[in-house]
Amino acid sequence: MKFNKHLANLQCYEAGKPIELVVSKFGIEANEVIKLASNENPFGTSPVVKLALAEMMDKLHLYPDDSYFQLKDTLAANFEVGTKNIIIGAGSDQIIEFCIHAKANKKNAILTAGTTFAMYEIYAKHVGANVIKTKSPTHDLSEFKKLYKQNAHKISVIFLCVPNNPLGDCLDAREVYNFISEVGKNTLVVIDAAYNDYAKFKDPKKGIDPRYICKNFKNAIYLGTFSKSYGLGGMRIGYGIAKRSIINELGKLRAPFNITNLSLKAATMALFDKEFVKAGIQNNFEQMLRYEEFAKTHGIEFLPSYTNFIVFKFDKQNASQIANKLLQQGIILRDMKSYGLNALRITIGTPEQNDKVFEKLDEILK
Ligand SMILES: *Cc1c(COP(=O)(O)O)cnc(C)c1O
């Protein structure tokens, strides 16, 4: 059978390996496995959320309220925007998809950093759009501007990942706002802020304000997720905040009931437990220092990170082999081979998980 031609060169997204694989392949108990490969919250989910979900068990037969008003009201109060400035997606991934489907096509292109979140390119290829990347792997806005000027007529969407997965680099909010104001009104600038609460904690200058974006720009959207600091990766829920003119168009692409009852409840309740989120972020940067120390004492190059992960770049040793050896011992890290890097991306874990990683990694590197 013939399929759409632009799918021919498309590779599937390579997700972090699951715990189940390590259990079945290496016979390690599930609760012994340390999974630091997908930037999930190592402390799990807030107890407030878990309690609320228990009460949902007699609602499973009902479709969700498709207006999502409880979650939208809570988000709106949280960020001081209107409920009509918000769209909810099955992960912020789905909103990335909506943005591409609303703007990109065979005749135009998207613009991204050299090494960034793989889904931008994957969704662009779904619609046959071109992908233009900066030479710089991290976000270099002067290069973004140059490429935009050269190709302005055909760039439909620009993605800024602030901070950037998988490298951890992070633009200042002021730079981002200035950049958006220099981009033409027909190009949508997507601010993917999946880790922005981590960045803001480390350096307030990095904190992007969705309200500011919403108020000041007709050509930008802010994307947030519950998958990282809120500990709800398995619930698949995220949101976009922008002017109504953008939200209304994206809304046309959303299927009814795209979010489950459980996910809506979980996300709404998660917004009330700010302490859980804050404690997780605090642990993250305390433990990040230990990883930096470990890298220094072992002569490993690392990139300063504003996220909940750190990238270790190897020189002589082979990162894929290291990842495999760790996997056999029940530690799942992210091999960055698919990004063309001899490197590992490590999600910062709990102190105990990190102890284990240091112990095993030290043995392997000896
Ligand atoms: C995790 C992540 C997302 C969103 O993930 P969802 O689970 O789909 O909400 C978006 N962008 C980046 C860069 C991410 O790392």
pLDDT tens for residues 37-65?
A: 999 999 999 999 999 999 999 999 999 99
Q: Please give the distance, rounded to the nearest whole angstrom, from the Cα atom of residue 315 to the centre of ligand 1.
A: 29
Residue 16 pLDDT: 75
Q: Count H helices, E strands: the chain?
A: 14, 13
Q: Which of 14, 164, 228, 306 most suits a substitution to test ligand 1, by most atoms within 8 Å of the C-beta? A: 228
Quick one: which of 218, 110, 221, 97 has its CA closest to 156?
Answer: 110
Task: Decide: residue 316, CB within 10 A, 0-12 exposed, 13-18 middle, 19+ buried.
Answer: exposed
Looking at residue 10, what is its pLDDT?
Answer: 85
pLDDT at residue 128, as a whole number: 94
- The answer to whether residues 348 and 43 touch, using CB atoms and an 8 Å cutoff, is no
Locate 204 and state its tokens.
């307030």
| Percent of the chain's residues with pLDDT above 70 | 100
For residue 71, what pLDDT is reported?
A: 98
- Ligand 1: centre distance to CA 294 (Å): 27
| b/e map 277-299, b = 16+ CB within 10 Å | beebbebbeebbeebeebbeeee
Residue of minimum CA distance from atom 2 in ligand 1: 194
Residue bearing the CA closest to ligand 1, atom 15: 165
> What pLDDT, on a 0 to 100 scale, did the predictor assign at position 22?
86
Q: Which atom of ligand 1 is nearest to the CA of 227?
A: 7
Q: Which of 197, 150, 198, 180 is nearest to 309 (CA)?
A: 198
- Calpha distance 98→101 (Å, rounded): 5
Match 């501007």 to its residue by tokens. 145
Contact of 227 with 95, CB cutoff 8 Å = no
Predicted pLDDT of residue 317? 95
Nearest-Å Rg of the Cα atoms of the chain is: 20
The answer to whether the CB of 117 is under 6 A from ligand 1 is yes
pLDDT at 9: 82
Distance 238 CA to ligand 1 centre (A): 8
- Which pLDDT value is given to residue 12? 82
Q: Divide the 366 residues of the chain into consecutive groups of 10 and give the mean pLDDT of each group.
A: 87 82 88 95 98 94 95 98 98 98 97 97 95 98 97 94 98 98 97 98 98 98 98 98 98 95 97 98 98 97 97 96 96 95 98 98 95
pLDDT of residue 179: 98
Q: Does ligand 1 lie within 6 Å of residue 196's CB atom?
A: no
Three-state DSSP at 260 gives coil
- pLDDT value at position 251? 97
The CB of 97 under 6 Å from ligand 1? The reply is no
Query: What is the position in ligand 1's atom list of the atom closest to the CA of 38?
Result: 1
